[in-house]
Homo-oligomer: A and B are copies of this chain.
């Protein structure tokens, strides 16, 4: 079977507040939006920010909790970019989880929560190639 994930969907309470974080913080452009969901075309898959109540209804599962046991990582090209991007995210409504430092496995990274408490790792990892289309390959 294809090793493929088509969509990452995160539940949000306020679509406008969330959209500000993703468009102003990351500088991303939606590919589609209505009153219930905003989609962003990513590197080979789609990110969806979906009203939490709609996600629960679609999943047929009430009571989804935050902060959930997951994180999403955005990799940057240089070590200096880590703090730059984290600062932008904080200005766009994010909150600091962990200031950037060097993890045991190398590189440099910190964590910021989005307005719905979803964790984003901003990482510089010189061992993981990223091509011009943003496609990321595992490396050691």
Contacts and interface: CB of A to CB of B under 8 A. Distances in A.
Interface of A: 1-11, 26-29, 31-32, 39-47, 52, 55, 58-61, 63-75, 85, 97-98, 103, 111, 116, 118-119, 121, 123, 125, 128, 130, 133-138, 140
A11 B60 CA distance: 22
A75 B4 contact: yes
Nearest to A32: B138
Given A11-B70, A64-B69, 6 more contacts: A3-B29, A3-B41, A8-B8, A44-B135, A61-B67, A65-B65
B46 A45 contact: no
24 contacts: A1-B28, A2-B134, A3-B28, A3-B29, A3-B41, A4-B42, A4-B130, A4-B134, A5-B45, A6-B73, A6-B123, A6-B125, A7-B73, A8-B71, A11-B70, A32-B140, A39-B138, A45-B136, A46-B138, A59-B97, A61-B98, A63-B67, A64-B68, A64-B69
Contacts of A97: 59-61
A79 B100 CA distance: 45
A93 to B, nearest CB: 16
B44 A71 contact: no
Contacts of A58: 98, 103, 111, 121
A65 B123 CA distance: 23
